[in-house]
Structures are given as C-alpha cells and as structure tokens.
Chain A
C-alpha cells in the first residue's frame, strides 16, 4: 500500500517570498511522484513530475521539487511567490510494480499569497 502526506493544510506567504510545500510518501515500490495545482473552480493542472531520472525536477511557472529517497520526501519550492500562485496544490504518487494506474493524492495544501 502507498500513502501520501502533505504536512501543511494551509501555507501563507507574502508576494516575493519563497514558497515551500511539503510532501512525504510511503510506497512498497519506487513510485512516480507529481505535483498538481488546482485554481478555484478549475480542474487540475500538472506542475511537475519525478519518474526516477534527475532528483531535482523543474516544472512550470518557476516551481521545483526535489526527490529525497532517504527522507521519502518530495517537497515543492518556488523562490519568489506571485499572487497568481494562490491555489490548492496536490502531491500525487503513482504505484509501481503490478499496481500501475493506482494513484494516491495527498490531502492538499492551500497556498495563500498576500500582497
């Protein structure tokens, strides 16, 4: 069985300051990991993905995430927050082995950006 835990349900930052959204996972296999973003009343959009290549992954809109196997973490960062980054963010794991197709989402982190 796999699980994904997003350590903060809400994160609040000021515009121009760094963003850190934390995600830990547990899995029997090496999972593929993703971050998705959901803006209000919209569907989900892929930010970035880790699929066992480089451990530091760059995504859209200046977001990055680093896969740390020893810490079972996949935290999302951005050097400087913009107002348009305000949204809900989901960390997602895709099972490996014989369970391809089974996805587990974290509980979500709501990012608020203050002017």
Chain B
C-alpha cells in the first residue's frame, strides 16, 4: 500500500531533550516536506526537500533540523525542544515539488507535547 509513515504518533517529552520524528514513504517520491499544525494558524511548512541531499527552509524552520540522505526517509530533528514546539506535525511527499501531476500524500501526524 502506498503510504507515508510517521513515527511516533504521540510523543511527550521535556524541554531540552533531543528527539527525532521519523518519516518514510514507499512511493519513490522526489519531494518530501514537514509541517506543523496549530489551531487558527493552519499548517505551516517547516522544511522541504526537492530531492536527496537537497533541503530548504519553509516558513518556520527555527528550532528544527532535517536531513535527506535517502530518497524514502526525511526525519525531523528537534535538538533542544521547547514548549512552543508543542504541536501536531505532518510529513508529506509527492512526485515533485510543483505538485502538477501528483498530490501531496500526508502521513497520519505526530502529536508532540513538550513540557
């Protein structure tokens, strides 16, 4: 089944403890991206990757890191989480970043709470 898999689904952590949220897709997509969703703000793009080893900042990259060493994986790293990073996070992928011929496929989300 074609899918984007995020892990974990739920995560509660403390301020400053490094964490990684994994994202993997099995559709051979070139494009992958991360978003956070907060009430009243919609989704905001954190980082995106047009291809392996190519990543760019979205609108809210501060406090996050990403890497794209393989086509299928695009982990999101929080080196020193803070309470303002408490949010619902989504990973998404597509054939390419123009989205002309392939829609974004979203993962099921990761709900992160930082205390």
A, B in one complex: yes
Give the interface of A toward B (CB within 8 A): 6, 9, 32, 34, 36, 42-44, 46, 49, 51, 90, 94, 100-108
Residue of A nearest to B31 (CB): A101
Give bound CA distance, A102 to B98, whole Å.
Answer: 9
Instruction: Check B106 against A104 for contact (C-beta < 8 Å).
Output: no
Total contacts A to B, CB within 8 angstroms?
65
Instruction: Check A102 against B42 for contact (C-beta < 8 Å).
Output: no
Instruction: Check A32 against B100 for contact (C-beta < 8 Å).
Output: yes
Q: Which of B33, B90, B96 contacts A44 (CB 8 A)?
A: B90
Instruction: Check B40 against A103 for contact (C-beta < 8 Å).
Output: no
The size of the chain B interface, using a CB distance under 8 A, is: 28
Instruction: Check B42 against A107 for contact (C-beta < 8 Å).
Output: yes
Instruction: Check B98 against A32 for contact (C-beta < 8 Å).
Output: yes
Instruction: Check A107 against B41 for contact (C-beta < 8 Å).
Output: yes
